[in-house]
Amino acid sequence: MNSFEKPQCYCCEKIATTKDHIPPKCFFPKKKDLSDGNHDYTNNLITVPACSDHNNSRSKDDEYTAAVIAMASTSSLALTLFKSKWVRALLRREGLLGKRIFLTAKSARVISRKNRVLIPYNTTAISCEMQRIERVIESIARALYYLESGYTKKCTGSCIIKSPKFLNRDLSYSQDAYILDPINQAFIHLEKYQELGLARKGKNPDVFYYQFFKTTDKNFVIRMVFYNDFTFLVYLQEKESMSSSIIFTV
């Protein structure tokens, strides 16, 4: 794209008429959402060119996903944000958002893993609407791919979304969690030793940062981390192919 061409929307072929925040702005606390009121995380947000349809098409999904991630994260920032912003949101509009989230809530005892130690604890379990969450995360991933390409390439292939944070319905760890853990650790290792340029990207890393990695089969993995706790690994295929394995060379 030359300097005279108007960029297209990150999600379709239309000429962009606006900009979409990536992740959506509702993920980021405002001053009024924080007890000290000294930091505004809504500055220096990532944006990508978008058409009006795709900029406004998933606002309810954005809110649902942001609330679930904040509620399920263990960081103090996420907890503060949930108590201040999302509790208000759950109570307004006749409580529709709250009903969607807490309709399936139940008391549960689960096992947490920390430094290979299993720790049982009591909590509340909810059944997430994964299709809504995956729509939001996929949109973020495709937007980041477009951003990384300098607005010259879009990912038109499949998008595989995984997170080790989600449990099976019986509250056991999913098989994905055990598979994803070494991949997640590979990202941490590569970042720590400054290998393959795996730097954290994002001006507000306490809320969101991402890492972009090209795999040996010329596809891409994006590691997204919300509130320094809630991780998604997104595998993007530039073009549809028979293989869907994630291959790392560390």
Mean pLDDT score, 2-31: 88
Distance, CA of 245 to CA of 65 (rounded, Å): 26
Mean pLDDT of the chain: 80
Q: pLDDT by residue (tens digit) across 30-69?
A: 988 887 766 889 999 999 999 988 887 788 899 999 999 9
Residue 220: the pLDDT is 86
More confident site: 164 or 28:
28
Please state the φ and ψ torsions of residue 202, each to the nearest 5 degrees. 130, 130
pLDDT band at 21 (very low <50, low <70, confident <90, very high): very high
**The tokens of 202 are what?**
């994002």
| Reported pTM | 0.82
Lowest mean pLDDT among 51-65, 108-122, 209-223: 108-122
Q: Is 234 helix (H, G, I), strand (E, B) or coil?
A: strand
Instruction: Report whether 209 contacts 191 (CB < 8 A).
Output: no
pLDDT score at 135: 94
Report percent pLDDT > 70 for the chain: 70
Task: Copy the structure tokens of residue 49.
Answer: 């060119």
Q: Which residues contact 160 (CB under 8 A, 6 or more apart)?
A: 234, 235, 244, 246
pLDDT in tens, 154-198: 988 889 898 877 765 555 556 666 666 767 777 776 676 666 667
Confidence of residue 87 (pLDDT cuts 50, 70, 90): confident
> Which residue in this structure is represented by tokens 């192919």?
241
- If pLDDT is split at 50, 70 and 90, which confidence band does 128 have? confident
> Residue 245 has what pLDDT?
39
Among 14-23, 99-108, 114-123, 220-229, which stretch is predicted with the lowest mean pLDDT?
Answer: 114-123
Radius of gyration of the CA atoms of the chain, in A: 19
